[in-house]
Structure 1
Amino acid sequence: MNQIDFTQAAKQVQPQLYSHALHFTRDEDDAKDLLQETLIKGIRFCHRFDNGTNLKGWLYVIMKNTFYNSVIKSKRRSEVISDEDLESPNLILSSTKNASEGKFAIEDINKALEALRPGHRIAFQRYFEGYKYEEIAGELNIPLGTVKTYIFQARSELKKYLKMYR
């Protein structure tokens, strides 16, 4: 199916898709954004659509996947502490330390980060902030393998520098 035919067919199912988007997002503006993103992806991949099949169903699957991927992505970025950190036996010990010990630890962590080579530090910080390897590679304009190496080397250096806190 070409893009013109696809666009005309998609216009007919757009109101139904909007109601599904509204059901997913529970917000009118977010629903409009989700619908728009779904239709853009549909147009981009219309050559994969088989004529005679259910267009509304095909676009619904695209919408559902787009919504779930965006939820997972935003959840990853908003997570600061992982579940493993919350279950750690070290959590009880760390909660009993006084503020001055924590201040010294923060200072040591900052010193350790500053001791890293700039490329390694930036890549590690972005990874720690929740960015994916591919996003870091794009931002720093370096190959994906280099990003992974930088992060691995930064971890190794930080472990050496901060071994007293194990």
Structure 2
Amino acid sequence: MNEPCFHKSLLKHSGFLNTVAQKFARTREDAEDLLQETFCKALIYQEKFKAGSDLGAWLYVIMRNIFINKYRRRRKFAEIIYAPADKQSSNHGISKSSHQDILSRNILIQIHKLPELFKVPFVLHLEGYKYAEIANMLNEPIGTIKSRIHFARQILKNVIERG
């Protein structure tokens, strides 16, 4: 399918995808972001679309996968931030939610204190980018990106354990 036809076909599915995005997302802004990211991925990978197959279904799968990946990353991030709080909150007389807020702020501060070499790929990973995407963005080998993210985690873990 040539590029102008592909673009027109994408636009024909925007109403359907907008409805799906509204059902997936919690807010209107999140739905708009999901829709935009779906269209961006579709444009990036348009050569993988097979002419004659169902474009709406293909776009739906892209959107669903983006949503699932973001959900998993949010859950993983929440586990990183809140897991230590569950162990400590009852021992100090501080409410669980207050302790989690303090811990979350402390972790964010520590993330921003990381050396740029580690901070940039780590933050991109937390935002939901895959290793390969980060490697492309930073023009680095994927192994280097994985190592830097690993070292960032280790640094943060050590800082949090020291309290």
Taking structure 1 as the reference length, the TM-score comes to 0.55
Structure 2 unpaired stretches of 5+ = 93-113
Counterparts of 2:35 and 2:71, CA distance in 1: 15
The answer for the alignment partner of 2:81 in structure 1 is: 80
1:7–1:122 distance in 2 versus 1, CA, 3 Å: same
Q: Secondary structure at the match of 1:80?
A: helix
1:20–1:122 distance in 2 versus 1, CA, 3 Å: same
Counterparts of 2:77 and 2:18, CA distance in 1: 27
Alpha-carbon distance, 1:59 to partner: 0.0
Task: Please list the CA deviations of residues 49-104 of structure 1 after superposition, one character each: whole Å capped at 9, or x if unmatched.
Answer: 1111111000000000111111222232334133xx6887xx69x938xxxxxxxx
1:21–1:95 distance in 2 versus 1, CA, 3 Å: same
The answer for the alignment partner of 2:59 in structure 1 is: 59
1:3 aligns with 2:3: yes
In the TM superposition, 1:26-65 aligns within 5 A as: 26-65=26-65
Counterparts of 1:33 and 1:81, CA distance in 2: 26
Counterparts of 1:51 and 1:10, CA distance in 2: 13
- Amino acid paired to 1:25: A
- Amino acid paired to 2:9: A
Counterparts of 1:144 and 1:42, CA distance in 2: 25
1:52–1:68 distance in 2 versus 1, CA, 3 Å: same
The answer for the alignment partner of 2:91 in structure 1 is: 95
Alpha-carbon distance, 1:4 to partner: 1.6
1:14–1:81 distance in 2 versus 1, CA, 3 Å: same
Q: Is the 8 A contact 1:25 1:31 kept in 2?
A: yes
The answer for the alignment partner of 1:13 in structure 2 is: 13
Which deviates more, 46-55 or 73-82? 73-82
Identity of aligned residues (%): 24
The CA RMSD measured in Å over matched residues stands at 4.4
Larger Rg: 1
Counterparts of 2:36 and 2:20, CA distance in 1: 13
Q: Which has the bigger relative contact order, CA under 8 A and spacing at least 6?
A: 1
- Amino acid paired to 2:82: I
Alpha-carbon distance, 1:36 to partner: 1.1
Taking structure 2 as the reference length, the TM-score comes to 0.56
Structure 1 unpaired stretches of 5+ = 97-120
